[in-house]
Amino acid sequence: MTERTFVMLKPDALHRGKVGEIIGQLEETGLQIAAIDIRSPSKELAREHYGPEIAERHGEDVRENLVEYISEFTVIPMVLQGRNAVSKVRDTMGESFDPMECSPGSIRGDLSSYSTDAATEEAIAIPNLIHGAESAEAAENEIDLWFPESEFAAYERPDFDYINDILG
């Protein structure tokens, strides 16, 4: 099933010059970039993106640190589409928000050496390079928040059907 997902490269990906490498790894999965931008989100947008459920899961401090982090710096939001886009992106990111618990080969596992302990000590949100929506429903809500329909590019990768229908 073709679906869309929302991805955001966090400020550490830009500061460390890892944007090309990360987008390259995502493209390797066969997903197509449907929208992309470079932006410094307002605090309001950041707070809507990281909603109350983040505070419920990790505490109010983590939510506030995340809001500060992405609104103070610059991020690259994008929409990727293709078969099982949500889980493909989450698998490519790594299996945890803590890079030290992510497998080699994953974006977080290979490119970040932060841990929850290190971030807690520094009182910052864990710099783990990338956000990816956790479900198809969350993805659609996040896409609505970040991208008006007019910003979607009307093109298809020539290999899109091949990758999605033949390679699965």
Nearer to ligand GDP, 141 or 157 (CB): 141
Q: How far is the CB of 104 from ligand GDP (least distance, A)?
A: 17
Q: Which of 15, 49, 58, 131 is catalytic?
A: 131
Selection from 136, 4, 28, 154 nearest residue 77 by Cα: 4
Q: How far is the CB of 119 from ligand GDP (least distance, A)?
A: 4
Residue 35 CA to residue 48 CA, distance in Å, equals 20
87 in helix, strand or coil? helix
The DSSP bridge partners found for residue 9 are 76, 130
Nearer to ligand GDP, 3 or 134 (CB): 134
By the criterion CB under 6 A, which residues form the site for ligand GDP?
54, 57-58, 62, 66, 97, 116, 119-120, 125-126, 128, 131, 134
Selection from 47, 39, 38 nearest residue 66 by Cα: 47
Q: How far is the CB of 113 from ligand GDP (least distance, A)?
A: 14
Q: How far is the CB of 64 from ligand GDP (least distance, A)?
A: 11
C-alpha pair distances (Å), 61 with each of 10, 23, 53, 67: 18, 30, 13, 10
Nearer to ligand GDP, 66 or 164 (CB): 66
**37, 156 contact by CB (below 8 A):** no
Annotated catalytic residue 58: no
Enumerate the active-site residues: 131
